[in-house]
């Protein structure tokens, strides 16, 4: 075949291919169906503090996320026949009546994942620590159903706070919800921060949620966490006092979703809500602005439900669900020691116990100012190391002392046993004092409290109890390592181990004990009595 014939055949094939491509393009154009995605757009009719009224959006759902101009979002909360009441998650000054609002088709969610560890974020998940964007791959809704009953395990593993009075007398377990309640400026946040700091190297992640706090107070907390190295395992969620009430309202739910992600990975998590009094007040403000009917103390009727559905998400998951746990430490502020007010009683009935901080103790310098008589852990010794059983009666002895001390102030004549109980109680109170940010390991706690329980400190003056503690800690290496290891075992402390600890402790404390005077408690005979 000649070259000219080959060239003619190639040109014919090219023309045929071009014609086929054009025909395919024409068919694709003629058969193309343009997809229509309808967008529902409403109009802002009014703007008030943290609340927006919107008209339109006939198909909007309850708690659906709505998008406003200037990057603002809101949650559809009141769905009436003619308008929608929206909780605004941002500054209302950026909106005016007549602005457009659009549905997103999803509920409010928050980024979750390991990238949030060590970060400070707002309730929307946006970083506020100047460390760049959060590299997250997953988001979870802030409102999630609590685990079912059959998906839960009993609380059995202790969560050590490093605070003697709590770990020994009011133990907290992993998966428990323990309320911290007290007047303002009594040390509630300090106890929660100590609990976070004590989780270092214990494979427990922490989430600190600040709700309506002053920016300076939050900055101080973050500085303490960074100084002690706690930000390596902590996430901080902040809704400041100058934020909109909507952000304060969603803050604890967002923080809980962040914590739940880690719990579902089989990890142990501690979450602190500081504090839910501000949360309740923010929800009250929102409800009143939305014209919802007020109830007791002007709170809406569902104020109990917003806290119960939040705290029910804290639990210890079953082994089939990887066995993770979420321990909650909600904080509540009382007014004039009134723990029978509406919000405190709600939270007391929801949680598994409470730690009550007394302003009277705080003023007397008894820190932490825990009132043992009004504090309780409903899990009890089930969430406590068995070695603590050797000091089991310490709480009862302390409670008896507080009752007897009240009578002694009236100048009542006391018998010798009562005097001994009071003197022993004074040493218990002195021994339970502890400075802020100075956590104490389990082994040191048990040795000090065991010596206290068995009367080794009864002959030491009250003002020297701190020196006695320091002496025991300074000579801690004198105690055998085998016994120290057995303090962490699943068995109770044996009598032999207790005697060995007390023998060594007695030797250490001997120089500090007052030696009884030879003529003490003996009356000198009178001359006239001898003559008779």
Q: Which DSSP string do the residues of 353-416 spell out, in sequence order? A: EEEEEPHHHHHTT-SS-B-TTT-EESSGGGGS-GGGGGGTTHHHHHHHHHHHHHHHTTT----H
Per the residue annotation, which of 152, 281, 292, 378 is the catalytic one? 378
What would the mean pLDDT of 206-212 be, rounded to a whole number?
A: 98
| pLDDT at position 414 | 83
| pLDDT at position 517 | 56
pTM, two decimals, is 0.89
Domains within the chain, CATH numbers bracketed? 41-107 (2.40.30.20), 111-384 (3.40.50.300), 390-512 (1.20.150.20)
Digit-coded pLDDT (tens) for 458-514: 999 999 999 999 999 999 999 999 999 999 988 899 999 999 999 999 999 999 988
| pLDDT at position 17 | 56
Percent of the chain with pLDDT strictly greater than 70: 93
| pLDDT at position 410 | 77
Q: Is pLDDT of 521 > 50?
A: no
Measured between alpha carbons, how far is 272 from 258 in angstroms, rounded to an integer?
12
Q: Is pLDDT of 207 > 90?
A: yes
- Whether 137 is a known active-site residue: answer no
Q: How confident is the model at residue 530 (pLDDT cuts 50, 70, 90)?
A: very low
Digit-coded pLDDT (tens) for 361-396: 999 999 999 999 999 999 988 889 999 998 988 999
Q: Is pLDDT of 531 > 50?
A: no
Cβ-based neighbours of 506, under 8 Å, separated by 6 or more: 451, 456
Go through the chain and tell me how many residues it has.
Answer: 532
């Amino acid at each position: 075949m000649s070259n000219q014939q080959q060239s003619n055949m190639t040109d014919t094939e090219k023309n045929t291919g071009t014609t086929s491509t054009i025909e395919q393009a024409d068919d694709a154009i003629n058969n193309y169906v343009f997809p229509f995605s309808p967008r529902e757009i409403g109009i802002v009719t009014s703007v008030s503090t943290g609340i927006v009224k919107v008209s339109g959006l006939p198909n909007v759902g309850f708690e659906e996320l709505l998008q406003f101009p200037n990057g603002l979002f809101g949650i559809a909360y009141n769905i009436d026949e003619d308008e929608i009441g929206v909780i605004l998650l941002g500054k209302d000054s950026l909106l005016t009546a007549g602005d457009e609002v659009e549905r997103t088709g999803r509920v409010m969610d928050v980024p979750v994942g390991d990238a949030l560890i060590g970060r400070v974020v707002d309730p929307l998940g946006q970083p506020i620590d100047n460390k760049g964007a959060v590299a997250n791959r997953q988001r979870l809704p802030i409102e999630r159903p609590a685990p079912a009953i059959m998906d839960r395990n009993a609380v059995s593993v202790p969560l050590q706070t490093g605070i003697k009075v709590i770990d020994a007398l009011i133990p907290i377990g992993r998966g428990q919800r323990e309320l911290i309640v007290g007047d303002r400026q009594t040390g509630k946040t300090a106890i929660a921060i100590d609990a976070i700091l004590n989780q270092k190297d214990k494979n427990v992640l922490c989430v600190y949620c600040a709700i309506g706090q002053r920016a300076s107070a939050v900055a101080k907390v973050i500085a303490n966490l960074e100084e002690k190295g706690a930000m390596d395992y902590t996430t901080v969620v902040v809704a400041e006092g100058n934020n909109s009430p909507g952000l304060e309202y969603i803050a604890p739910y967002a923080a809980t979703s962040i914590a739940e992600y880690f719990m579902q990975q089989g990890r142990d998590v501690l979450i602190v809500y500081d504090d839910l009094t501000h949360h309740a007040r923010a929800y009250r403000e929102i409800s009143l602005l939305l014209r919802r009917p007020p109830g007791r103390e002007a709170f809406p009727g569902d104020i109990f439900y917003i806290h119960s559905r939040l705290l029910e998400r804290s639990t210890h998951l079953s082994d089939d669900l990887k066995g993770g746990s979420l321990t909650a430490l909600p904080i509540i502020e009382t007014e004039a020691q009134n723990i029978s007010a509406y919000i405190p009683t709600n939270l007391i009935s929801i949680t598994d116990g409470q730690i009550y901080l007394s302003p009277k103790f705080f003023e007397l310098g008894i820190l932490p100012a825990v009132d043992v008589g009004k504090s309780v852990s409903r899990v009890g010794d089930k969430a406590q190391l068995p070695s603590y059983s050797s000091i089991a009666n310490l709480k009862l002895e302390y409670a008896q002392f507080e009752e007897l001390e009240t009578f002694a102030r009236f100048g009542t004549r006391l018998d010798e046993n009562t005097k001994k109980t009071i003197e022993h109680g004074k040493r218990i109170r002195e021994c339970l004092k502890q400075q802020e940010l100075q956590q104490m390991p389990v082994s040191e706690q048990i040795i000090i409290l065991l010596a206290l329980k068995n009367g080794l400190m009864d002959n030491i003056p009250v003002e020297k109890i701190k020196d006695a503690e320091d002496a025991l800690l300074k000579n801690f290496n004198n105690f055998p390592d085998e016994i120290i290891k057995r303090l962490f075992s699943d068995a109770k402390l044996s009598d032999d181990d207790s005697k060995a600890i007390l023998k060594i402790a007695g030797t250490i404390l001997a120089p500090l004990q007052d030696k009884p005077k030879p003529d003490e408690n003996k009356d000198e005979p009178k001359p006239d009595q001898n003559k008779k």
